Amino acid sequence: MPHTLNWFEIPVTDFARAKAFYETVLGVTITPMAMGPTMMGMLSTDPEAVGGAIVQGEGGVPSQNGTMVYLNGGDDLAPLLARVAQAGGQVVVPKTEIGSDFGFFAHFVDTEGNKVGLHSMK
């Protein structure tokens, strides 16, 4: 088993707003995909990587509690973190060194009210 995590979904209430937020912060293009009454936007389509999506659909409730998803902050999470406020989110834990050569992390609250983490080695 190469990865313990296989897939994640970040619930959103306003798909267009969340799409714009994550495109700005992550520097990617998110293509909307309707799956029945559910709207999804893939954050990664690399078949060799762990995948995830923003998802608007029945039962999806954004939250700052519960499981924490950490997104890849690339070589240095600082540039992504700097775009959070301009995209409408809020940094709630700034870039913080983990120690023991485990890199750095930060937490932000997205436009939908989800608390999400970022991780990078620098």
Of 38, 70, 60, 77, which is closest to residue 112 (Cα–Cα)?
60
According to the model, what pLDDT value does residue 47 have? 74
For tokens 């990664």, the residue is 44
Q: List domains and CATH numbers for the chain.
A: 7-120 (3.10.180.10)
Decide: pTM greater than 0.85. Answer: yes
- Furthest-apart CA pair in the chain: how many Å? 46
Mean pLDDT of 73-95: 95
Q: Residue 3: pLDDT above 90?
A: no
Q: What share of the chain is helix, strand, coil (3-state, %, to 5)?
A: 15, 35, 50
According to the model, what pLDDT value does residue 2 have? 64
The pLDDT tens digits of the residues spanning 14-52 come to 999 999 999 999 999 999 999 999 999 998 767 777 789
Q: Cα–Cα distance between 35 and 41 in angstroms, integer?
A: 10
Most confident region among 5-14, 15-24, 64-73 by mean pLDDT: 15-24
According to the model, what pLDDT value does residue 90 have? 97
